């Protein structure tokens, strides 16, 4: 189902801001929600919650591994704990803790990594997370969500809070175009077909969803009809939608702000191999760390724009013939 | 490069470095002025007086090693290294731009004379310990200096490193804590207090020196004392002021990671004239 056929892509807030606001909403109705942050609350926007509910906010200092396990303890004791930091720090520094204190005992911990991908720009590779979705998917039992805009991030945070079990949600630093009207339904394991099309399907998540829409518009002007799917639920992934795209289009492009080799492309390929094998091309970060620059310059240099998706689509179509 | 032990010269170089810091962060429209300005005398004294190093031969085996654990403060390191002659001064204002050697955090891919790529807090001391061990194994005179932020030492890894250093009697390493009392979200006191800090390091087996980190003769004396301590590592707790040298930045958490506007830059440069 196409949510809309005409996307204005008006600029909206950064998904970290949507996350911060959703936490406050949740805090109002659910007294069990508690939040931990590691000296980045001004950046992750958990400071909104801290201001509103200071007694339910725990400042952990610059100590992410400890924060993750403290969050697990809070959740094991009946709270719904959200722990947040830059994605690069909470997942990389906290990975062993996520594995042993949250995933393995199936603890109801919610992890939100902000400043994901390379679109943080100026800070450079030490703060860029290009492997976070892969790491999170390497935690059995974890639900992994990567929303694209304001409405989908707010929905994801509510889904995370309602779901029983560990969840990772990926958020970004930069402002993001609006894709969904407020109130659009989302579900764990779901996806949204944003544009119908039959020549090929572009599957994207996060920041690259808007780029995929722009690429489809470009391709349309060349007489190519591209289906665009927002794979906001990374795990579980929407096998049905992938199978249908493979069957009906015969070619798939996966676009993501993540290392290409270990990202969602590989997961989509696995599903296609198990259901309907088809031609595939991949847009992502190619086995490298990026560098400092403005967000615009960095995503352009590392090939994450609509033009890169369109080029991959043409390549896929050429192979299909 | 012209090394100097004259505190007046070092103060003059520090002033130039502070001007570079302000200018490059203004040009980049992003970066971390507060923690760069607080560490200026520490880094300048190391590079211009204390350390054995040669900008013409950055991989000289017997050189001393410098690691900036708090990598976000790289404007102070870039400016000081540029003043030493390692890298071009006239490119400092390309800081944080695509293709610039002056990356947002120290990146050895772009400046091979850097000893480590830092930016994820808490790991610099451990890297320094590895370098100190290697120097001892190879019978090299190299000493290793690691500058950490006070917020940074909240990372558990720092205390794993602290235990390791005294067990292995790494007296060829000095750790300097830039104790400016502010981190990202606010004052250290409100985020995760560290006191009694000297007692913590002492109980981990370190020789502890406490100084005013802006008092150049005291900084020089601390590095000299550290070099004489045998059988244990030394930590210098350098009490500093975040944003030092620019009145409106001093002791204000806002200036942790905010770039000055053009007008603010001019005001700051006037104060640093
Ligand atoms: C592991 C890690 N967590 C979080 C951050 C984000 N961060 C950058 S600077 C900073 C505060 C650092 O405070 P401090 O060490 O006191 O540095 P200074 O005040 O000297 O600038 C934080 C939390 C980071 N770079 N690395």
Structural domain includes residue B162:
yes
Residues of A in contact with B92 (CB under 8 A): none
- Residue for token digits 């591994």? A65
Kindly report the average pLDDT of chain A as a whole number: 97
The β-bridge relationship of strands B144-149 and B173-179 is: parallel
Q: What is the DSSP letter of B260?
A: P
Q: List the single residue in A42, A60, A125 with the smallest CB-CB distance to B184.
A: A42
Structural domain includes residue B84:
yes
Cα A98 vs. chain centroid, distance in angstroms?
A: 18
| Contact: B120, A301; criterion CB under 8 Å | no
The β-bridge relationship of strands A175-177 and A11-14 is: antiparallel
Dihedral sign computed on CA atoms, order B123, B126, B128, B134: negative
* Best CA proximity match to A156, nearest among A141, A146, A166, A165: A146
Structural domain includes residue B1:
no
Give the full edge-to-edge strand order of the sheet including B234-239.
B65-68, B144-149, B173-179, B234-239, B207-212
**pLDDT digits 0-9 by tens, A36-92:** 999 999 999 999 999 999 999 999 999 999 999 999 999 999 999 999 999 999 999
Query: How many CB atoms neighbour CB B156 within 10 A?
Result: 15
Question: Domain range holding B267?
Answer: 7-271
- Given a cut of 90, whether residue A3 has pLDDT beyond it is no
pLDDT of residue A321: 84
Structural domain includes residue B219:
yes
B51: CATH = 3.40.50.970
Give CA–CA dist B93/B45, Å, rounded. Answer: 23
What parts of chain B have a pLDDT lower than 70? Answer: none
- Given a cut of 60, whether residue A194 has pLDDT beyond it is yes
Ligand 1 geometric centre to CA of B174 (Å): 21
- Given a cut of 70, whether residue A189 has pLDDT beyond it is yes
Structural domain includes residue B134:
yes
Kindly list the structural domains of chain A, giving each domain's residue range(s) and its CATH number in brackets, ordered by start.
Answer: 12-178 (3.40.50.970), 192-320 (3.40.50.920)
- Given a cut of 60, whether residue A4 has pLDDT beyond it is no
* Best CA proximity match to A126, nearest among B107, B253, B195: B107
Give CA–CA dist B76/B84, Å, rounded. Answer: 12
Average pLDDT (A101-123) is 98
Going by pLDDT thresholds of 50, 70 and 90, the confidence category of residue A7 is: very high
Average pLDDT (A237-256) is 98
Between residues 46 and 75 of chain A, which touch chain B (CB distance below 8 Å)? 47, 59-63, 65-66
Structural domain includes residue B160:
yes
Quote the ipTM score: 0.97
| Contact: A122, B100; criterion CB under 8 Å | no
Cα B181 vs. chain centroid, distance in angstroms?
A: 15
B152 lines ligand 1 (CB under 6 A): yes
pLDDT of residue A6: 81
Alpha helices, DSSP H only, in B138-246? Answer: 156-167, 188-191, 197-203, 216-228
Structural domain includes residue B188:
yes
Average pLDDT (A16-33) is 98
Q: Which residues contact B99 (CB under 8 A, 6 or more apart)?
A: A291, A293
Give CA–CA dist B31/B35, Å, rounded. Answer: 10
pLDDT of residue A2: 41
Residues of A in contact with B26 (CB under 8 A): none
pLDDT of residue A5: 61
Structural domain includes residue B225:
yes
């Amino acid at each position: 189902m196409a949510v809309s056929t005409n996307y204005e892509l008006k600029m909206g807030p950064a998904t970290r801001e949507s996350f911060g606001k959703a936490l406050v909403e949740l805090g109002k109705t659910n007294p069990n929600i508690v939040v931990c942050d590691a000296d980045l609350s001004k950046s992750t926007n958990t400071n909104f919650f801290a201001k509103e509910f200071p007694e339910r906010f725990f400042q952990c200092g610059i100590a992410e591994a400890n924060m993750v396990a403290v969050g697990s303890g809070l959740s094991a004791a009946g709270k719904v704990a959200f722990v947040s930091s830059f994605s690069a720090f909470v997942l990389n520094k906290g990975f062993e803790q996520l594995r042993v204190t949250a995933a393995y005992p199936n603890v109801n911990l919610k992890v939100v990594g902000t400043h994901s991908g390379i679109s943080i720009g100026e800070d450079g590779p030490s703060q860029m997370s290009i492997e976070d979705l892969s790491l999170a998917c390497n935690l059995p039992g974890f639900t992994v969500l990567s929303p694209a805009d304001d409405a989908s991030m707010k929905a994801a945070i509510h889904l995370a809070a309602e779901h029983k079990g560990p969840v990772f949600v990926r958020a970004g630093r930069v402002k993001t175009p609006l894709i969904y009207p407020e109130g659009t339904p989302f579900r764990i394991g779901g996806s949204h077909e944003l544009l119908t099309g039959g020549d090929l399907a572009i599957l994207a998540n996060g920041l690259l969803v808007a780029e995929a829409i722009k690429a489809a518009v470009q391709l349309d002007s060349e007489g190519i009809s591209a289906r665009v799917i927002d794979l906001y639920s990374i795990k579980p992934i929407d096998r049905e939608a992938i199978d249908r795209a493979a069957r009906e289009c015969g070619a798939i492009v996966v676009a993501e702000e993540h290392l290409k080799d270990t990202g969602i492309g590989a997961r989509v390929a696995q599903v296609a191999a198990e259901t309907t094998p088809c031609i595939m091309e991949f847009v992502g970060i190619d086995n490298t760390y990026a560098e400092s620059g403005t967000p615009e310059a960095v995503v352009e240099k590392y090939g994450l724009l609509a033009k890169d998706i369109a080029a991959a689509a043409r390549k896929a179509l050429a192979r299909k013939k | 490069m012209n090394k100097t032990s004259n505190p007046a010269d070092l103060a003059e170089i520090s002033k130039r470095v502070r001007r570079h810091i302000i200018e490059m962060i203004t040009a980049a429209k992003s970066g971390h002025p507060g923690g760069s300005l607080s560490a200026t005398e520490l880094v300048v004294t190391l590079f211009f007086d204390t350390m054995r190093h040669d900008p013409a031969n950055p991989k000289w085996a017997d050189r001393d090693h410098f690691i900036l654990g708090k990598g976000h403060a790289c404007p102070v390191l870039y400016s000081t290294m540029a003043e030493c002659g390692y890298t071009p001064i006239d490119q400092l204002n390309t800081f944080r731009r695509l293709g610039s050697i002056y990356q947002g955090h120290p990146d050895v891919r772009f400046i091979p004379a850097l000893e480590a790529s830092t930016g994820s807090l808490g790991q610099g001391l451990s890297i320094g310990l590895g370098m100190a061990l290697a120097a001892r194994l190879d019978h090299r005179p190299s000493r290793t200096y690691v500058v950490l932020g006070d917020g940074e030492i909240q990372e558990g890894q720092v205390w794993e490193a602290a235990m390791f250093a005294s067990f292995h009697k790494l007296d060829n390493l000095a750790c300097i804590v830039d104790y400016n009392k502010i981190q990202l979200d606010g004052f250290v006191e409100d985020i995760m207090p560290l006191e009694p800090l000297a007692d913590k390091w002492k109980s981990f087996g370190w020789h502890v020196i406490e100084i005013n980190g802006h008092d150049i003769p005291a900084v020089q004396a601390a590095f000299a004392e550290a070099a004489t301590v045998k059988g244990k590592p030394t930590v210098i707790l350098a009490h500093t002021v975040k944003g030092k040298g620019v009145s409106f930045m001093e002791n204000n958490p806002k200036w942790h990671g905010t770039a000055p506007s053009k007008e603010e830059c001019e005001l700051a440069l006037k104060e640093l004239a």
